[in-house]
């Protein structure tokens, strides 16, 4: 078999980082915690060194706490998808290939200096030359500032080529008996699907419009309006948003931004996404969320979005109710309906450990710590060999992230208090459904008969 130069380079990088992990963990003698932290850090450094495809893969790992050790998830969460920008002439050529016109013919002005440059796309600023009527929202008049997100030429080939190399290396590692505890093939499949979606910018545009529809009457939530006449598979034109990232909130406060109110509102908006709309932004971090000068919250970058059916939302409401009332049995029972299948012989021990975890979250003074509970629950399930559906783990991670974002603005926020009205509404609606009401009446009747004849 011919081994490519890229494959040799990837192998060399991982070998170097593995040796560094051995050294920093004192050859495994520094204890389990030190060893896990050392190797997680070296994995992150290896992914960063290997470039765009591995950086994006690391970011995907960062939203999969149900599959990977928490140390690795935490390390990968700090990686930023940033690469050296391409010359403006290359971006201009893509625009011309898509529309048959130069940027100056399409817009009143176009900025050659990129706003951002990532592995898949590069972003430039522009100004509308004509009025635009978006799918949702008010008309965007001529002179409105927009951004062009342009897929980098060769991005697909580079990322998918590295993906193929990663698969070959993974197969080799499997044959050597390594990485037995990680389902990396499933992760690579998910990664490939994600990249394919990201390479078609119309997908992100449609999702942005759906979010704009969901929050069309909300004065506190903003979603960039899409300019469809200059949007294609390789070019996405959207309204430009200005504001402060969550890491710059001190500057926002100086301008009179009410961080406490926005923290509560942002958490509430997320619960609306999950419990009412069944669509939620699953990649909330400082780069994808702005606090604007208008005292609003602006969502950006809809690359990772979760979807839930009405039944799934009702089951999630029951899981959250189980958390609020320290009812481990209920939380586990409805998690089962969401695909978390605990073997019968392990139900008792998992229920007991889940109850202890609930007590640790709810028993202390101050706001309840959902992140501690949520990630602890995923860790508990992994420890007992329970397979966790991708969507379930993604939602738990998203809830934990929202809590973290909210607490960066308002440390005393209690995400469970925010969730309570939505949980109550969904459970109330489900109780009124005829088929469920009949099922409950039949169960109650059988229970009563057992008591009578006992």
pLDDT in tens, 18-74: 888 888 887 767 677 788 888 889 888 888 888 777 887 787 777 666 567 778 888
* CA distances in angstroms from 365 to 31, 369, 412, listed in the order given: 32, 10, 11
Q: Tell me which residues of the chain have a pLDDT lower than 50.
A: 1, 437, 445, 449, 451, 453
Element (H, E) at 100: none
Collapsed DSSP state (helix, strand, coil) of residue 148? strand
Q: What is the pLDDT of residue 375?
A: 77
Share of the chain above pLDDT 90, in %: 28
* CA distances in angstroms from 26 to 33, 45, 169, 408, listed in the order given: 12, 19, 27, 35
Instruction: Return the active site residues.
Output: 283
Taking the CA atoms of residue 228, residue 232, residue 238 and residue 244 in that order, the dihedral angle to the nearest 10 degrees is 160
Assign 3-state DSSP to the chain and report helix, strand, coil percentages, each to 5.
60, 10, 30
Q: What is the pLDDT of residue 367?
A: 62
Tell me the pairing of strands 107-110 and 116-117: unpaired
Whole-angstrom distance, CA of residue 405 vs CA of residue 284: 8
Q: What is the pLDDT of residue 350?
A: 92
pTM value is: 0.76
Whole-angstrom distance, CA of residue 9 vs CA of residue 131: 51
Q: Are 349 and 384 in contact (CB under 8 A)?
A: yes
Q: Give the pair of three-digit tokens for residue 45.
A: 């450094």
Q: Are 220 and 243 in contact (CB under 8 A)?
A: no
Residue ranges of the alpha helices (H) in 100-183? 103-106, 155-175
Q: What is the pLDDT of residue 206?
A: 93
What would the pLDDT profile of 362-377 be if each residue is shown by its tens digit? 655 556 777 777 878 8
């Amino acid at each position: 078999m011919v081994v490519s130069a890229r494959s040799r380079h990837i192998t060399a990088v991982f070998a170097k980082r593995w040796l560094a992990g051995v050294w920093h963990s004192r050859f495994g003698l520094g204890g389990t915690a030190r060893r896990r932290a050392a190797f997680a850090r070296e994995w992150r450094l290896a992914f960063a060194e290997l470039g765009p495809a591995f950086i994006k893969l690391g970011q995907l790992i960062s939203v999969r706490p149900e599959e990977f050790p928490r140390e690795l998830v935490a390390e990968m969460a700090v990686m930023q998808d940033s690469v050296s920008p391409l010359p403006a002439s290359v971006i201009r050529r893509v625009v011309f290939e898509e529309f048959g016109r130069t940027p100056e013919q399409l817009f009143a002005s176009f900025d050659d200096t990129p706003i951002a440059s990532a592995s898949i796309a590069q972003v430039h600023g522009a100004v509308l030359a004509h009025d635009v009527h978006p799918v949702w929202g008010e008309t965007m008049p001529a002179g409105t500032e927009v951004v062009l997100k342009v897929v980098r030429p060769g991005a697909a080939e580079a990322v998918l080529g590295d993906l193929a190399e990663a698969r070959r290396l993974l197969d080799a590692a499997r044959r050597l008996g390594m990485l037995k505890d990680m389902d990396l093939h499933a992760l690579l499949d998910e990664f490939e699907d994600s990249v394919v979606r990201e390479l078609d910018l119309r997908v992100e545009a449609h999702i942005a419009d759906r979010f704009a529809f969901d929050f069309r009457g909300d004065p506190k939530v903003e979603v960039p309006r899409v300019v469809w006449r200059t949007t294609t598979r390789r070019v996405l034109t959207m309204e430009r948003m200005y504001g402060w990232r969550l890491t710059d909130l001190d500057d926002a406060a100086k301008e009179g931004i009410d961080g406490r109110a926005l923290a509560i509102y942002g958490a509430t908006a997320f619960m609306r996404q999950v419990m009412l709309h069944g669509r939620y932004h699953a990649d909330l971090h400082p780069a994808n969320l702005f606090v604007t000068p208008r005292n609003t919250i602006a969502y950006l970058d809809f690359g990772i979005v979760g979807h839930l059916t009405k039944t799934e939302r009702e089951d999630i409401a029951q899981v959250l109710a189980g958390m609020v009332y320290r009812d481990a049995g209920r939380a586990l029972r409805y998690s089962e309906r969401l695909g978390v299948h605990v073997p019968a012989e392990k139900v008792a021990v998992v229920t007991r450990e889940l109850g202890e975890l609930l007590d640790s979250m709810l028993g202390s003074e101050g706001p309840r710590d959902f992140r501690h509970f949520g990630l602890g629950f995923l860790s508990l399930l992994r420890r007992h060999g329970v397979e966790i559906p991708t969507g379930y783990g993604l939602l738990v991670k998203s809830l934990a992230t929202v809590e973290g974002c909210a607490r960066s603005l308002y440390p005393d926020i209690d995400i469970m208090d925010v969730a309570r009205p939505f949980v109550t509404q969904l459970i109330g609606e489900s109780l009124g459904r005829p088929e469920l009401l009949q099922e409950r009446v039949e169960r109650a009747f059988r229970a009563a008969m057992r008591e009578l004849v006992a």
